[in-house]
Amino acid sequence: MSAPRQPREPVLPPDAVDTLLRDTTPWLSCEECFERMDTYAEATVADPAHVDEAMDTHLRGCAACDEEARSLIDLLRA
């Protein structure tokens, strides 16, 4: 194969993007993220220092889930 072309956006290294898109990752798929979101939001509201590494990592890389989580947390805090 000739030199592979890399995408120019330096957001994540290509293999990290690949990892996020696969289902068998150490982190969560969007589906798994959604399943855990209620628990995550409740824990975050109860303890602002709450850390869920898998959720935090997914939310950092996924704007859709991040927005969902934020609005859920806002809702619970209201």
Q: Which secondary structure element, helix H or strand E, spans residue 64, and what is its range?
A: helix 63-77
Cβ atoms of 59 and 72 within 8 Å: the answer is no
Residue with tokens 């995408």, as numbered in its chain: 7
Instruction: Return the structure tokens found at 37.
Output: 């979101």
Comparing CB distances to Zn ion, the nearer of 42 and 66 is: 66
Residues between 32 and 71 that touch Zn ion (CB under 5 A): 33, 62, 65
Give the binding range for Zn ion (CB under 5 A) out of 22-30, 35-43, 44-52, 70-78: 22-30
Rg (CA), the chain: 15
Q: In the bound complex, what is the minimum distance in angstroms from residue 26's beta carbon to Zn ion?
A: 15
Does 30 interact with Zn ion (rule: CB under 5 A)? yes
Binding-site ranges for Zn ion (CB under 5 A): 30, 33, 62, 65
